[in-house]
Amino acid sequence: MAHRIAFLGFVALAVCASLSLAADPANLQDFCVADASGNTRMNGMACKNPTMVQASDFAFSGLHIPGNTSNAVGSRVTPVAVTQIPGLNTLGISMVRIDYAPWGINSLHTHPRSLEVGFVTSNPDNRHITKILKKGDVFVFPVGLIHYQRNIGYGNAVAIAALSSQNPGVITIANTIFGSKPDINTDLLAKAFQVDKSVVWQLQTKF
């Protein structure tokens, strides 16, 4: 009987321990300011010594400055992520400013005056969901789905995007597929896109 009581007590303790761990999703410290010079590899960046943290680690200036849209796609992304604000480290959030020239686009990838926005759902439906946004509108792009924006107005446009990562990165579809180094095999791409290999070669020369 004594052994049974001890065993039940152990099980109860184990359950309580697992529940307490599962119930603590928040940070266990005030902050973990990124230490860009740290050599520790982890999911995020190593923490700077808290005694060395300054106000500048939590601030960024320049989001009011228009980005230069004189480029091939007519848009410019100004990121505010952990690289710009080290204090975002481990917080799982960042933002960007996106400037669009008239008819400028933020190519198929990620992240509105008058903007056409859209995303495509996953296989097998591949639904194209799109909307025209006006000043003050908000639109949500589900995590992981290919999406884009295009300025269909006659003046410049600005968007502010909130991202669910401290360092979201960008994968631009066309650049990734046709501008990889070394090139992806042309036979493979021709078969995947159901086009002639000459079309693939032409696209690869552009990226």
Residues 6+ apart with CB under 8 A from 73: 104, 105, 106, 107
Per DSSP bridges, beta strands 147-151 and 128-133 are: unpaired
The answer to whether 49 is annotated as binding is: no
C-beta neighbour count of 53 within 10 angstroms? 17
Bridge partner residues of 150 (DSSP): 105, 116
Q: Give residue 100's identity as a one-letter amino acid code.
A: Y
The answer to whether 109 is annotated as binding is: yes
Distance CA 173, CA 175 (A): 6
E strand map for the chain: 75-80, 94-100, 105-109, 115-120, 128-133, 147-151, 157-163
The answer to whether 175 is annotated as binding is: no
Q: Give residue 37's identity as a one-letter amino acid code.
A: S
> Residue 186: is it exposed, middle or buried by C-beta count within 10 angstroms (0-12/13-18/19+)?
middle
Distance CA 25, CA 21 (A): 8
The answer to whether 68 is annotated as binding is: no
Query: Token pair for residue 26?
Result: 């928040």
The answer to whether 185 is annotated as binding is: no
Residues that constitute the known binding site for Mn(2+): 109, 111, 116, 147
Which residue positions form the known binding site? 106, 109, 111, 116, 147
Residues of the binding site for oxalate: 106, 111, 116
